[in-house]
């Protein structure tokens, strides 16, 4: 039976991976790219190949980020789980279902992020009628009708 340190090493090596963070960043790539492009343009900086520049940033970021996240994740596990629980988690990850979960977690994250954006857009479109009703019910008044209209229309 492995010791807790070996179990933790196995857990973080299997679950806190560059592939996981790459999937998370990839799901936000367009948003990050757009924000970065706007920031660079505001500073008068032009990059000849923004996509390749973004690839370099992501690759360099993910490498150091993954290493630091693995170190810190071990501490979190030690704070949240007993030694017995850590052994059980490690044992699960060594099973076929555990390996399937590890392998499919990046896809779960990507699909979850896509779903979150979709549900978020849908929720925002339904938000302002509820906000307007609550403002009226709770007596919240914005002293300029044009500002109120702008506020309410900002989310439509």
Q: Is residue 73 over pLDDT 90?
A: yes
Q: Taking the model in full, what pTM does it have?
A: 0.63
> Regarding predicted confidence, which is higher, 132 or 82?
82
- DSSP character string of 67-111: HHHHHHHHHHHHHHS-HHHHHHHHHHHTSHHHHHHHHHHHHHHHH
pLDDT by residue (tens digit) across 18-55? 988 888 888 788 888 999 999 999 999 999 999 999 89
% of the chain with per-residue pLDDT over 70: 91
């Amino acid at each position: 039976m492995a010791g807790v340190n070996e179990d933790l090493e196995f857990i973080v090596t299997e679950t806190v991976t560059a592939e996981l963070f790459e999937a998370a960043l990839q799901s936000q790539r367009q948003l990050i790219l757009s924000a970065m492009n706007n920031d660079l343009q505001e500073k008068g900086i032009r990059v000849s190949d923004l996509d390749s520049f973004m690839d370099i940033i992501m690759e360099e970021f993910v490498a150091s980020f993954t290493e630091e996240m693995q170190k810190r994740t071990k501490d979190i596990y030690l704070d949240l789980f007993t030694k017995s629980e850590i052994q059980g988690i490690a044992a699960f990850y060594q099973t076929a279902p555990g390996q399937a979960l590890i392998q499919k977690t990046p896809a779960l994250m990507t699909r979850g992020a896509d779903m979150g954006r979709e549900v978020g857009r849908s929720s925002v479109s339904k938000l302002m009628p509820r906000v307007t009703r609550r403002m009226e019910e709770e007596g919240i008044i914005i002293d300029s009708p044009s500002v109120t209209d702008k506020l309410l229309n900002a989310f439509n």
